[in-house]
Chain A
């Protein structure tokens, strides 16, 4: 049971970030800056919790930080029509740099942890509800239909009178808020402390999870829990000390990510079915 909870806890930040990015990509935008928004969420969440002594303020701060970063991405890619891949990379590089500078005085400080009841922190049920909510909104509501329409054919959605750019802005901000919260989860719940670059590629793994989930929310949850299980497994194996170098076990999540991408992407029928048709394409209204 304990092991099960540890796995869920390790998986929750991945799930939060992946669900956010899933909505972003469903609207046709590829934001590769998840890692940067996440690390900013982690540092701002930790800082706010540390300075006020209230972990909930930290949670709020991490959400705001992630959303603010995503707004920067939105302005460049949606308003100024900059290349989405390059801008996403820029967001990650900026996030890692800025968080290191902001967090310098937080290194080694004791963190404030969110209250945990019977091993379950409030964000675990929240992440499940969020998954259910996103799944419901995307596939059972008019708003979800609009989001998917914008992602699959922005010209058609525009012709029908929907404001493509506005829809995308909202989705990008939702993704940023989720990524920020995922970072806050790391620094307020998972390991209540600030370590530079503490996301360690989790934002990129979340991006891979979206592909792995073929843009379906519940599959993202399954994927996140699988990854949680793998990373916890490597910890467990380490404690038994079988003589396997820790570096090898630590590299497992990254290798498994590659393997998962290969398995899913290799199956063209599976990966093509749900891929938003306009993913990564800028929308220029008057053309």
Chain B
């Protein structure tokens, strides 16, 4: 007996939708097993982790606010991955967006007008785009692998931010803590409700805009062709280099916007740690959302739940919040495994196919 994959005549549309749901169910089951191994009652633990955050309004707001950067970054990454462009350095682009946007309140603390916020947001986008342009240009010009270069730049960006807030940008009145001044008034995003800020709107607009770009425009068609059949794209005269650069500028800009939105709301200042790994979690968001910007919205909410549930589990169950990252990793594994079912049917076969040929 052995496992054999049998190619389906065409990709199963039902499985494309079912796969993330199966993956999610398997993740919850795995979570229950992990909790049980640690001596918690798995049913209670799963309730605390996955259900309870939805009961109180404030924690629903927290989920939405945490989903915003994940959706912004994940929507951009979906476009990249559709085009077979592997930007995995969104965390670095997020950081540089925060740095460049944060420069305004740090260097001009007195400047308070609506223009302050607009300038910050614009600079945030530019910062992320610029940081994303580096791996794109290195790939286009020198054929350097963008996976490795974009990831290396994450560390460089984080060290740069670390240097800024410990050195020149440290708050002189901050008791030597490695933090910049705290932002105020027009240096912060307006809040729509007590807990939800404007960044959430950015995320929704970005996801819808990218869905339209992919589904309704020539550019979107070019991107999908570039990913599915690079040869066809070349024959059609689509520039591969421009696609690479476009994807990196787009996803970098969105990650930068997420970065500046985060420091201009939840964080409220620059400090060494401004992200609980949004740039990496967004990779999972992109895949869970089927590389579809609208799907990314749902996936972003789910990944946000993994963070908030992790915090809840830490408080009520004494389980480390680090379990959130385990769930995120496990979830991505299950999605990739279940995606096999879109193209293949799994069969148990008695004899080896090679033995039949011999």
Q: Given A80-B340, A93-B332, A204-B152, does the pair A258, B325 have CB atoms closer than 8 Å? A: no
Quick check: is B315 within 8 A (CB to CB) of the other chain? no
Question: Do residues A100 and B322 form an inter-chain contact, with CB atoms below 8 A?
Answer: yes
Enumerate chain A residues within 8 angstroms of B148, measured Cβ to Cβ.
204, 207-208, 211, 257-258, 261
The segment out of A49-57, A180-188, A262-270 that lies at the interface is: A262-270
Quick check: is B280 within 8 A (CB to CB) of the other chain? yes
- What sequence of 0s and 1s flags, for each residue 303-337 of chain B, a beta carbon within 8 Å of any chain A beta carbon? 00000000000000000101111111110110011
Quick check: is B15 within 8 A (CB to CB) of the other chain? no
Quick check: is A287 within 8 A (CB to CB) of the other chain? yes
Question: Do residues B340 and A90 form an inter-chain contact, with CB atoms below 8 A?
Answer: no
Instruction: Give the interface of A toward B (CB within 8 A).
Output: 32, 72, 76, 79-83, 85-87, 89-91, 93-98, 100-101, 104, 163, 200-201, 204-205, 207-208, 211, 245, 247-248, 250-251, 254-255, 257-258, 261-262, 265-266, 268, 271, 284-287
Question: Do residues B337 and A254 form an inter-chain contact, with CB atoms below 8 A?
Answer: no
Q: In the complex, which of the residues A83, A101, A285 contacts B354, with contact meaning CB atoms closer than 8 Å?
A: A285
Min distance, Cβ A231 to any Cβ of chain B, angstroms? 13
Q: Given A94-B330, A251-B156, does the pair A82, B322 have CB atoms closer than 8 Å? A: no
3 interchain residue pairs of minimum CB distance = A94-B329, A97-B325, A247-B163
Question: Do residues B143 and A258 form an inter-chain contact, with CB atoms below 8 A?
Answer: no
A-B Cβ contacts below 8 A, count:
140
Question: Do residues A261 and B149 form an inter-chain contact, with CB atoms below 8 A?
Answer: yes
Quick check: is B96 within 8 A (CB to CB) of the other chain? no
Question: Do residues A262 and B7 form an inter-chain contact, with CB atoms below 8 A?
Answer: no
Min distance, Cβ B353 to any Cβ of chain A, angstroms? 6
Q: Which of A100, A248, A271 has the largest number of chain B CB atoms within 10 A? A: A100
Min distance, Cβ A37 to any Cβ of chain B, angstroms? 13
Quick check: is B63 within 8 A (CB to CB) of the other chain? no
Enumerate chain B residues within 8 angstroms of A285, measured Cβ to Cβ.
353-354
Enumerate chain A residues within 8 angstroms of B262, measured Cβ to Cβ.
none
A176 to B133, CA, bound (A): 33
Quick check: is B43 within 8 A (CB to CB) of the other chain? no
Question: Do residues B336 and A76 form an inter-chain contact, with CB atoms below 8 A?
Answer: yes
Enumerate chain A residues within 8 angstroms of B328, measured Cβ to Cβ.
93, 97
Quick check: is B339 within 8 A (CB to CB) of the other chain? yes
Min distance, Cβ A79 to any Cβ of chain B, angstroms? 7
A37 to B160, CA, bound (A): 27
Question: Do residues A266 and B354 form an inter-chain contact, with CB atoms below 8 A?
Answer: no
Min distance, Cβ B52 to any Cβ of chain A, angstroms? 21
Secondary structure class of chain B's binding surface, majority of residues:
helix
Enumerate chain A residues within 8 angstroms of B343, measured Cβ to Cβ.
81
Q: In the complex, which of the residues A87, A163, A248, A266 contacts B142, with contact meaning CB atoms closer than 8 Å?
A: A266
Question: Do residues A248 and B332 form an inter-chain contact, with CB atoms below 8 A?
Answer: no
Question: Do residues A201 and B155 form an inter-chain contact, with CB atoms below 8 A?
Answer: yes
Question: Do residues A254 and B156 form an inter-chain contact, with CB atoms below 8 A?
Answer: yes
Quick check: is B248 within 8 A (CB to CB) of the other chain? no
Q: Given A204-B151, A255-B156, does the pair A86, B143 have CB atoms closer than 8 Å? A: no
A200 to B158, CA, bound (A): 12
Q: Which of B144, B160, B167 has the largest number of chain A CB atoms within 10 A? A: B144
Q: Given A82-B336, A97-B326, A104-B320, does the pair A248, B155 have CB atoms closer than 8 Å? A: no
Enumerate chain A residues within 8 angstroms of B284, measured Cβ to Cβ.
90, 93
Quick check: is B79 within 8 A (CB to CB) of the other chain? no
- What sequence of 0s and 1s flags, for each residue 125-164 of chain B, a beta carbon within 8 Å of any chain A beta carbon? 0000000000000100111110111011101100110110
A166 to B237, CA, bound (A): 40
A208 to B153, CA, bound (A): 13
A33 to B64, CA, bound (A): 31
Question: Do residues A211 and B145 form an inter-chain contact, with CB atoms below 8 A?
Answer: yes
Quick check: is B86 within 8 A (CB to CB) of the other chain? yes
Question: Do residues B159 and A250 form an inter-chain contact, with CB atoms below 8 A?
Answer: yes
Quick check: is B344 within 8 A (CB to CB) of the other chain? yes
Quick check: is B56 within 8 A (CB to CB) of the other chain? no
Question: Do residues B144 and A258 form an inter-chain contact, with CB atoms below 8 A?
Answer: yes
Q: List 22 contacting pairs A-B, 8 Å CB cutoff, sorted by A.
A: A76-B336, A76-B337, A79-B3, A79-B5, A83-B336, A90-B333, A91-B333, A95-B329, A100-B325, A101-B323, A200-B155, A204-B152, A257-B148, A258-B138, A258-B149, A258-B152, A261-B144, A265-B144, A266-B142, A266-B144, A285-B354, A286-B353
Enumerate chain B residues within 8 angstroms of A89, measured Cβ to Cβ.
88, 283, 332
Question: Do residues A86 and B336 form an inter-chain contact, with CB atoms below 8 A?
Answer: yes
Quick check: is B94 within 8 A (CB to CB) of the other chain? no
A244 to B343, CA, bound (A): 54
Quick check: is B278 within 8 A (CB to CB) of the other chain? no
Enumerate chain A residues within 8 angstroms of B144, measured Cβ to Cβ.
258, 261-262, 265-266
Q: In the complex, which of the residues B3, B145, B155, B323 contacts A261, with contact meaning CB atoms closer than 8 Å?
A: B145
Min distance, Cβ B36 to any Cβ of chain A, angstroms? 15
Q: Given A32-B147, A72-B333, does the pair A93, B155 have CB atoms closer than 8 Å? A: no
A19 to B175, CA, bound (A): 48
Question: Do residues A254 and B330 form an inter-chain contact, with CB atoms below 8 A?
Answer: no
Question: Do residues B160 and A247 form an inter-chain contact, with CB atoms below 8 A?
Answer: yes
Question: Do residues B5 and A201 form an inter-chain contact, with CB atoms below 8 A?
Answer: no
Enumerate chain A residues within 8 angstroms of B138, measured Cβ to Cβ.
258, 261-262
Min distance, Cβ B198 to any Cβ of chain A, angstroms? 29
Q: In the complex, which of the residues B5, B166, B320 contacts A101, with contact meaning CB atoms closer than 8 Å?
A: B320
Enumerate chain A residues within 8 angstroms of B169, measured Cβ to Cβ.
none
Q: In the complex, which of the residues B145, B156, B162, B322 contacts A97, with contact meaning CB atoms closer than 8 Å?
A: B322
Quick check: is B287 within 8 A (CB to CB) of the other chain? yes
